[in-house]
Amino acid sequence: MTQTQTHPGAWISDPDAYRRKLDGFLGNRDPFTVLSQTADTLARIVADAPAKLLRTRPFPGKWTPNEIIGHLTDSEWVYGFRTRLILCEDKPTILGMDQDLWVAGQRHNDREPRDLVEMFRALRSFNLLVWRQMGTAELSRVGLHNERGEESLGQMLRMEAGHDLSHIDQINRYLEAAKKMG
């Protein structure tokens, strides 16, 4: 995913295609079920793979599995903030982030995989409490993403679950490639 960006989120050239991709990963699954299972899935991945393997970069210019876990943790912070902003304010502006700068700046590949998973687990737990309190009216509230346009909380809920599944798939593929490297 490492790409040169002129502004946050510039790697998403087609917001609708990005949304369709995430929705495709989710399919007919319940977003709450997916969101509730991600921390355990990440914990199993980390328990089954040595830290050295998680820190291996199988593809030049792409993240390592550990950096992907760090990105998911960052995303949980960001989704939590955006969710609360939309829930509590009328049509707030939602800013994109330069995910590559966040991953590099926090040196996620140097961090302990288990620590990243536990941070993710804590954040997800707090955010699920907020999500589960929402009804239809709250899920229809919208924010204006500075690059993707209007997004409702209901749409964001599905996107976040699809984002989890997309990156879990990526982690598994990268681990398989890293194993073949040596």
> Which pair of tokens denotes residue 53?
């393997």
Q: Are 166 and 17 in contact (CB under 8 A)?
A: no
> Which pair of tokens denotes residue 84?
């609360």
Report d(CA 5, CA 163) in Å as an integer. Answer: 20
**Banded pLDDT at 86 (limits 50, 70, 90):** very high
Lowest mean pLDDT, pick from 8-22, 24-38, 69-83, 165-179 = 8-22
Closest CA to 69 of 43, 98, 50, 35: 43
What is the model's pLDDT at position 3? Answer: 36
For 88-142, the pLDDT digits (tens) are 999 999 999 899 999 999 999 999 999 999 999 999 999 999 999 999 999 999 9
CA atoms within 13 A on the CB side of 111: 23
Q: Which is more confidently placed, 182 or 141?
A: 141
CATH of domain 28-181: 1.20.120.450
Instruction: State the greatest distance between any 2 C-alpha atoms of the chain, in Å, as a whole number.
Output: 53
